[in-house]
Structure 1
Amino acid sequence: MKIENIELHRVCMPLVSPFRTSFGTATERETTLVRVVTAEAEGWAECAAEPDPLYSSEFLDGCDLVMRDHLIPRLKMLGDRLTAEHVATALAPVKGHPMAKAVLETAILDAQLKESGVSFGGYLGAVHEQVPAGVSVGIMDSIDEMLDAVAGYLAEGYLRIKLKIEPGWDIAPVRAVRERFGDEVLLQVDANTAYTLADARHLARLDPFDLLLVEQPLAEDDILGHAQLAKLIKTPICLDESIESARDAAAAITLGACSVINVKPARVGGYLEARRIHDVAAAHGVPVWCGGMLETGVGRAANVALAGLPNFVLPGDTSASSRYYSQDLTEPFVLEEGHLRVPRGPGIGVDILPDVLAELTSSTTSVRF
């Protein structure tokens, strides 16, 4: 595939409401969109990195720099031989930076699939035309505020509720949701590494609430700690930040550190590695679900396609556009009886709204091939 140029578009989108986790509070989504232009098509992808290195060591300015100065020059060396399947190998000499690598691979794959008329879901192996949608509820100022938010999301039709938790905001909100909405609500919690193994007895207090899982309770590098914790609590442990590759997934499963995996394509270097994680987990009988990073419609389209694969058996963080944005960069994803449709058009199957992009773009960098 012959690439003519690659553009980096920095955009900033206000959230409909603040989103708080144990890492901090977001009021807007600032991201870099990558546009890959070929003679026959253009591919788009969204960088998942945040402005500050709090979720991971990567951050947005760093991603832009490493793409411009280190990753794109290596891709240029492949010339017409460049395809999405070659990206990971070409970029392997550059250590780390999975989110920067992922956005380039995804944009190239989008252009490649548009040239051939194949959908993202079709290429990855999706077997479902629609996927169940869950919603993530951030840490709030009061239990009443949280309950009102949960009530609103259930009324909209979301099939699963995920509560962000941290020390001091864990048992009480979970109990309040169960008491008000009952045991039939699919409920899970996400700690974003906020606890240590010394908190095992406290985390065991979540067991009576019949949660689907507790996500990433301990530090991302504490696989053995998670394996020990799994022996001390009954709630299934799901790993998120700890899983950066299919090899990580196999090791964590073998050690008994998790019984569920949250697959975030950007965190693992792209959708091709995400598919490998799906396959490894399926071979071990471990269910997976698709996590989210406050994506716009660009990233959401690809995530929904991934969530159509057969071992994505739990509702993911594939919420409707309105969960985060009053105006998306694409036509909005709309909840239909608790599900989102997998895009069927070529590539990611959605188009950028040019007027919205122009309004929200603060800078553009273009690199000729």
Structure 2
Amino acid sequence: MTIPLKKIVLRKLNMRLKDPFVTSFGTTQDKEFFVIEVYDGEGNCGYGESVAFAQPWYTEETVKTTQHMLEDFLIPILRGSSVNHPDDVSKAFQSIRRNNMAKAAIEGAIWDLYAKRENTSLSKALGGEKQEIEVGISIGIQPTMKELIERIEDALQIGYKRIKLKIKPGADIEVLREVRSYFPNTAIMADANSAYSLEDINHLKKLDDLNLMMIEQPLAHDDIIEHAKLQKEINTPICLDESIHSVEDVRRAYELGSCKIINIKIGRVGGLTEAKRIHDFCQEHQMEVWCGGMLEAGIGRAHNIALTTLPQFVLPGDTAGSGNYWEKDIITPEVIVKKGMIEVPNKPGIGYEINEKVLNEFTEWKKEITM
């Protein structure tokens, strides 16, 4: 049955993080993004959230390119397409190269709308099985070691199942070594955000003494080949993030031996449909996967939760609670972590209600588009 797409509303939001988030490629405090509302004219509305940053430091996409792609290409394509299932959206967008975050934002809204029309949860619509998911937390580079240790202690008291630490040259091995001395049995991983090269092999070999879960994307953001060379030289499992944009990228990484783990981010791979394809490939080839975060607000966080209910998400993801990042979130109830677990909502769609008051408070502008 065709999903009627009667109206789309674009909202530009600007929300301030509780604390600056520092990585090897920059610092984020104010998060600009879009909320996409898709109405079927029958009382249902699906919600999606964009994840591109204001600057092109994670991928080539930005907040402005997202708006351009949505208004000038993707929404017009949908206007001329028949959508019977959310999978049809990614097929309709095949003529557009990359711009995966823009694609994922609107595809996510249609997945939510589809689940609501089917009167089922988004997790079940995707084929998810879990009633609750394990979550970890990502901690940016801190000004001092004392502050870093305190942040880790706070996270462990809440019960987070895994600690991810951002590293960069000059703030890596010694930092991790000291953290490990404080927390000898904690599940810890390091995220380099492409800060190293093959010239650093001997330096990166020192990671093997620290019993890390993984090192995430140590080499170039678009590389698969050199990561294979590095993985042969170190025992610490490599996880690929920025290099992975499709299931074909995962297949190449698997065949080359570039990594042992895949981080699936919905925005980076172009939406839930492609994320599920990647999951299915990894399940078939026994590669561990987990769900990465992009400092999402509540709608994007809800999509991550639903995706993580698929069975091959065997490692804790980055979907920390709303209160870790925001003074107030745009969904109700907010995402809450209890003993390192998030209960998966079973209401139709994303399972959370939109907090209209907060949504309007952070909305800078909105635009209605009749389909």
Alignment of 1:2-13 (within 5 A): 2-13=4-15
- Which whole-Å CA distance do the structure 1 matches of 2:223 and 2:317 have between them? 24
- Which whole-Å CA distance do the structure 2 matches of 1:102 and 1:324 have between them? 22
- Which whole-Å CA distance do the structure 2 matches of 1:312 and 1:225 have between them? 26
Q: Is the 8 A contact 1:147 1:176 kept in 2?
A: no
Match among 130, 133, 136 for residue 134 of structure 1:
136
**Aligned match of 1:354:** 356
- Which whole-Å CA distance do the structure 2 matches of 1:162 and 1:144 have between them? 17
- Which whole-Å CA distance do the structure 2 matches of 1:28 and 1:54 have between them? 15
2:336 aligned with 1:337, yes or no? no
Count of aligned pairs: 367
2:74 aligned with 1:76, yes or no? no
**Aligned match of 2:296:** 295
2:278 aligned with 1:283, yes or no? no
Alignment of 1:153-164 (within 5 A): 153-164=155-166
- Which whole-Å CA distance do the structure 2 matches of 1:277 and 1:48 have between them? 19
3-state SS in 1 of match to 2:243: coil
**Aligned match of 1:260:** 261
Find runs of 4+ consecutive structure 1 residues off by over 6 angstroms: none
Alignment of 1:319-330 (within 5 A): 319-330=320-331
Alignment of 1:1-369 (within 5 A): 1-40=3-42, 41-79=44-82, 81=83, 83-182=85-184, 184-331=185-332, 332-369=334-371
- Which whole-Å CA distance do the structure 2 matches of 1:21 and 1:312 have between them? 25
3-state SS in 2 of match to 1:362: strand
Taking structure 1 as the reference length, what is the TM-score of the superposition?
A: 0.98
Amino acid at match of 1:197: L
Residues 248-274 of structure 1, C-alpha deviations (whole Å, 9 max, x = no match)? 101101100000000001100001110
Q: Is the 8 A contact 1:132 1:315 kept in 2?
A: yes
Residues 211-258 of structure 1, C-alpha deviations (whole Å, 9 max, x = no match)? 000000011222110000001111000000111011110110110000
- Which whole-Å CA distance do the structure 2 matches of 1:96 and 1:315 have between them? 28
Taking structure 2 as the reference length, what is the TM-score of the superposition?
A: 0.97
- Which whole-Å CA distance do the structure 2 matches of 1:180 and 1:95 have between them? 46
**How much identity, in percent, do the aligned residues show?**
42
Q: Is the 8 A contact 2:90 2:273 kept in 1?
A: no
- Which whole-Å CA distance do the structure 1 matches of 2:203 and 2:60 have between them? 29
Structure 1 residue runs of 5 or longer lacking an equivalent are none
Amino acid at match of 2:172: D
Q: Is the 8 A contact 1:75 1:82 kept in 2?
A: no
Amino acid at match of 1:318: T
- Which whole-Å CA distance do the structure 2 matches of 1:19 and 1:345 have between them? 32
In the TM superposition, residue 173 of structure 1 has moved relative to its aligned partner by: 1.5
Q: Is the 8 A contact 2:158 2:338 kept in 1?
A: no
- Which whole-Å CA distance do the structure 2 matches of 1:125 and 1:114 have between them? 15
Residues 165-206 of structure 1, C-alpha deviations (whole Å, 9 max, x = no match)? 010111122111111121x20000000111111111111111
